[in-house]
Amino acid sequence: MKALRQLRKIKNKRQQAKIYDAVDGLKDFPNCPNVKKLKNRSEYRLRIGSWRVLFTETLEIISIEEVRKRNERTYSE
């Protein structure tokens, strides 16, 4: 639910639609462009311009964890 709230807070509706479309493309995971496994973590990231979608994958279920604008704190925690 955190990711959905973060996505709804994006004021630019065009950017919001791009992110929705990119997340929809995760149906083809792991054969998706702009997806990378994060080092020393169990998460993956999907890059959409300056935005990052952090997600996990277990037993063919993809859980979207966060939607963040890329900055120096994007991958911290």
Q: Which residue has the higher pLDDT, 14 or 77?
A: 14
Only one residue has tokens 């496994």, namely: 37
Residue 50, token pair as written in the block:
């300056």
User: Are 56 and 63 within 8 A, CB to CB?
Assistant: yes
Nearest to 41 by CA among 5, 68, 76: 76
- pTM (2 d.p.): 0.86
Secondary structure letter of residue 71 according to DSSP: S
User: Are 55 and 62 within 8 A, CB to CB?
Assistant: yes
Of the chain, the percentage scoring pLDDT greater than 90 comes to 71
Quote the CA–CA distance of 12 and 69 in Å, as a whole number.
12
